[in-house]
Amino acid sequence: MNLTLATDDRGEPEIFASLQGEGPSAGKPCSFIRLSRCNLACVWCDTAYTWRFAGDERPHRDGIAYDRKANQVSLSPLEAARAIDRLPPRRLVVTGGEPLLQAAALAEMAALLPDHAIEVETNGTVEPSARIDAFVEQYTVSPKLAHSGNAASLALPPQRLVDWAAEPRAFFKFVIAQPADVTQVLALQAGFGIASERIFLMPEGIASPVLREREQWLAPLCVEHGFRLSDRLHIHLYGDTRGT
């Protein structure tokens, strides 16, 4: 069983070393593997090349339909593990797309990386299999709010949120586009009993000026509610680019 990866700007598998730009591990040197395919379709998604292929009519603000062949590549778990192991960081971030759609092959890959701490970034809608769960040190769960354009029935399945709230390895990272979005975060926090210190609020945006402007009003809201603020460090360092 192979893994389906996104490609970088050279058409190579998107496996790279960088600094984690978001969430609880921000600033840490990490290796990254970006998988292709997603079960959601956020209208502002900054990695639409992982899912919005020609023929996919799900809305996106850019309206770009990507060529699947040019933006997907298949690797065996062994090939992926070897590429990751050549990179210096021993912390691996598995991102997407939605990585847990490929849990079985991911578990095979993880078993070949015993000296790596593994962090999985997920939209929170897919239950991790027991096999991949055994290898994960940290989950960064990013439930999608109403402004993402996804129906709540798809993006916010109650049982998954109950399970993530009970998972001590899970942190919650919410993408915020306007102050009103925080009201929905507060409702989810109250409804599922999520501790404030496990919640990050992150401004939506793919340009430094936009992120900085939104952080000006988002920071006081974090202070008010006891949430943590997540920047998008990679955007400031490299812009909205693949493999960074």
Question: What local confidence, expressed as pLDDT, does residue 120 receive?
Answer: 99
Domains and CATH numbers, the chain: 3-238 (3.20.20.70)
133: confidence class by pLDDT, cuts 50, 70, 90: very high
d(CA 39, CA 167): 22
123: confidence class by pLDDT, cuts 50, 70, 90: very high
Q: Are 46 and 29 contacting, i.e. CB atoms less than 8 angstroms apart?
A: no
Q: Are 233 and 27 contacting, i.e. CB atoms less than 8 angstroms apart?
A: yes
65-122, pLDDT tens digit by residue? Answer: 999 999 999 999 999 999 999 999 999 999 999 999 999 999 999 999 999 999 999 9
28: confidence class by pLDDT, cuts 50, 70, 90: very high
169-216, pLDDT tens digit by residue? Answer: 999 999 999 999 999 999 999 999 999 999 999 999 999 999 999 999
| Mean pLDDT of the 21-35 span | 98
Question: What local confidence, expressed as pLDDT, does residue 17 receive?
Answer: 98
Question: What local confidence, expressed as pLDDT, does residue 25 receive?
Answer: 98
Question: What local confidence, expressed as pLDDT, does residue 243 receive?
Answer: 97
Question: What local confidence, expressed as pLDDT, does residue 24 receive?
Answer: 98
Q: How far is CA 218 from CA 35, 39, 164, 177, 202, in A?
A: 30, 28, 24, 9, 8
The pair of three-digit structure tokens given for residue 46, joined into one six-digit string: 């900054």
Among residues 137, 81, 136, which one has the least CA distance to residue 108? 81
d(CA 182, CA 154): 20
- What values do phi and psi take at 64, rounded to 5? -90, 130
Question: What local confidence, expressed as pLDDT, does residue 221 receive?
Answer: 98
Question: What local confidence, expressed as pLDDT, does residue 198 receive?
Answer: 98
9: confidence class by pLDDT, cuts 50, 70, 90: very high
